[in-house]
Amino acid sequence: MKVLITGGAGFIGSNLIEKLAEKNEVIVIDNLSGGRKEFIEPFLDKIKFYKVDLLNNVNDYFSGVEEVWHLAADPSVKDSSIQTFFRDLEITKNVLEACRKNKVKRILFTSSSTVYGESELNTPENCETKPISFYGGTKLSCESLISNYCSLYKIQGFLFRFANIIGKNSTHGVIYDFIGKLSKNKEELKILGDGKQTKSYLSVSDCINGMLIARDKAKEKINIFNLGSRDKTNVKEIAEIVVEEMISSLQKKPKFKFTGGVDNGKGWKGDVKEMLLDISKLQKLGFTPKNSSKEAVREAVRETINSYQL
Ligand SMILES: NC(=O)c1ccc[n+]([C@@H]2O[C@H](COP(=O)([O-])OP(=O)(O)OC[C@H]3O[C@@H](n4cnc5c(N)ncnc54)[C@H](O)[C@@H]3O)[C@@H](O)[C@H]2O)c1
């Protein structure tokens, strides 16, 4: 099967290529704004890579493609703005137009738990969506547009609402931030908020496994799935794991300096302080995350320390 991945040179995309290139003809489109060529270098003899900005017309690249994995976006909740909102919506519109014109059968979209805003914990997929950040807003708008296209044209849609995804090739998020800060200053670690922000963390391998199970087993025209681990951990616990794993280079435990944050200890305005998703819908199809949140964090910390010259 011919599959196309937008944002394939990024963190999740490069892990996805590894899996999809085993059995498929893979096309990757990425403008390398956040992604890195080195992540896809091991696959360049197996895939077709185009350094293209999806803000342009991309119809020709979709010729003969059956399945599109749409990952390209600005992944930062903290830095999201009205500009990133419309930019990522525009990208999604261009991807959907290319799907329509080339009769693509299936689109799989990486959405986020942020569409729920500050909803009840153990959030099910049918919970009300009330995003509190531009990032959550744009994900929900992209979901709506995808749903429109799937209903009007013969496309099957998968909308995956991710918890925090972590692991090999990650270039952003709390783990990357802490390791980077500690490699520059061994004495003190600045932690945004009060350190009690408590969320679900999922290993990227579990994330990809979950999406593939959904793709292979779910039959609805539009399929919405939460994807997270079964528990959560907090930012201070993550800082402690990072320090434990880096202790040989740090020599002694650094001082934690909490910024205090905004709105009762959040890292930034628009942050959701607690997040845990109900993943039973995907579990019923056979999905079981191999790691707890803390195990996923420790594994990701080790991979990040090993893979980067920070
Ligand atoms: N990492 C997480 O915890 C998480 C959680 C929820 C949702 N997501 C979503 O998953 C997707 C992948 O996230 P990631 O963590 O791998 O981020 P990433 O930044 O590593 O990957 C995104 C990729 O999209 C590319 N891109 C961005 N704008 C583009 C454009 N205009 N044209 C072409 N390419 C463009 C970037 O270069 C990058 O390689 C994103 O949609 C993100 O919002 C991620």
Distant-in-sequence contacts of 41-50, Cβ < 8 A, 24+ apart:
43/17, 43/18, 46/21, 47/8, 47/17, 47/21, 49/8, 49/9
Torsion of CA 200, 205, 209, 211, to 10 degrees: 60
State the pLDDT at residue 303: 94
Position 238 scores a pLDDT of: 98
The closest alpha carbon to 107, from 98, 99, 115, belongs to 99
294 phi, psi to nearest 5 deg: -65, -40
**pLDDT-derived band of residue 306, with 50, 70 and 90 as boundaries?**
confident
User: Do 167-200+231-273+288-307 and 2-165+202-227 fall under one CATH topology?
Assistant: no
The per-residue pLDDT for 163 is 98
Q: What does pTM read for this prediction?
A: 0.97
pLDDT in tens, 17-31: 999 999 999 999 999
Binding site membership of 69 for ligand 1 (Cβ less than 6 Å) = no
In angstroms, what is the C-alpha Rg of the chain? 19
Q: If pLDDT is split at 50, 70 and 90, which confidence band does 288 have?
A: very high
CB 90 within 8 Å of CB 55: yes
Find all residues with CB under 8 Å of 95, minimum gap 6, and list them: 6, 54, 58, 68, 70, 72, 107
List the structure tokens of 129.
């969506």
For tokens 């934690």, the residue is: 256
pLDDT at residue number 151: 97
Are 107 and 215 in contact by the 8 Å Cβ rule? The answer is no
The protein residue with its alpha carbon nearest to ligand 1, atom 10, reads 110
- Measure 15 CA to ligand 1 centroid, in angstroms: 12
What are the residues facing 201 on neighbouring strands? Answer: 164
State mean pLDDT over 29-40. Answer: 97
Q: Is pLDDT of 57 > 80?
A: yes
pLDDT, position 308: 62
Q: For residue 115, what is the DSSP state?
A: G
CATH of the structural domain 167-200+231-273+288-307, one choice from 3.40.50.10330, 3.20.20.140, 3.90.25.10, 3.40.50.720: 3.90.25.10
| In the predicted structure, residue 233 carries a pLDDT above the cut 80 | yes
Q: How does pLDDT run across 95-142, given as a tens digit for each residue?
A: 999 999 999 999 999 999 999 999 999 999 999 999 999 999 999 999
Neighbours of 180 (CB within 10 A): 13
Q: Is there an atom of ligand 1 within 6 Å of 117 CB? A: no
User: What would the pLDDT profile of 78-108 be if each residue is shown by its tens digit?
Assistant: 999 999 999 999 999 999 999 999 999 999 9
* Annotated catalytic residue 50: no
Residue extents of the structural domains in the chain: 2-165+202-227, 167-200+231-273+288-307
Ligand 1 centre and the CA of 3: distance in Å?
18
Is the pLDDT at 198 greater than 60? The verdict is yes
Asked if residue 153 has pLDDT above 80, the reply is yes
Q: Across all residues in the chain, what is the average pLDDT? A: 96
Across residues 153-182, what is the average pLDDT? 96
- Give the Cβ contact number of residue 309 at 10 Å: 4
Does 73 contact ligand 1 (Cβ within 6 A)? Answer: yes
Ligand 1 pocket check for 167: Cβ under 6 Å? no
Taking alpha carbons only, the member of 202, 250, 12 closest to residue 109 is 12
Q: Which of 116, 135, 176, 201 is catalytic?
A: 135
Instruction: Name the packing angle between helices 134-152 and 82-101 (round to 10°).
Output: 20
In ligand 1, the atom with minimum distance to the C-alpha of 9 is 39
* Of 54, 57, 58, residue with least CA distance to 73: 54
Which residue is closest in CA terms to ligand 1's atom 7?
112
Q: Is 91 in the pocket of ligand 1 (CB under 6 A)?
A: yes
CA-closest candidate to residue 158, choices 220, 202, 206, 244: 220
The pLDDT assigned to 138 comes to 98
List the structure tokens of 2.
């011919």
The pLDDT-based confidence of 261 (bands split at 50, 70, 90) is: confident
How far apart are the CA of 214 and the centre of ligand 1, in A?
20
Q: How many whole angstroms separate alpha carbon 69 and alpha carbon 67?
A: 7
Q: Please give the backbone phi and psi of residue 137, each rounded to the nearest 5 degrees, phi first.
A: -65, -45
Residue 298, both tokens: 């420790």
Give me the pLDDT at residue 309, please. 56
**Closest to 32 in 3D by CA, of 58, 14, 57:** 14
3-state secondary structure of 181: helix
From 3.40.50.720, 3.40.470.10, 1.10.3720.10, 3.40.50.10070, which CATH number describes the 2-165+202-227 domain?
Answer: 3.40.50.720
Predicted confidence at residue 307, as pLDDT, reads 79
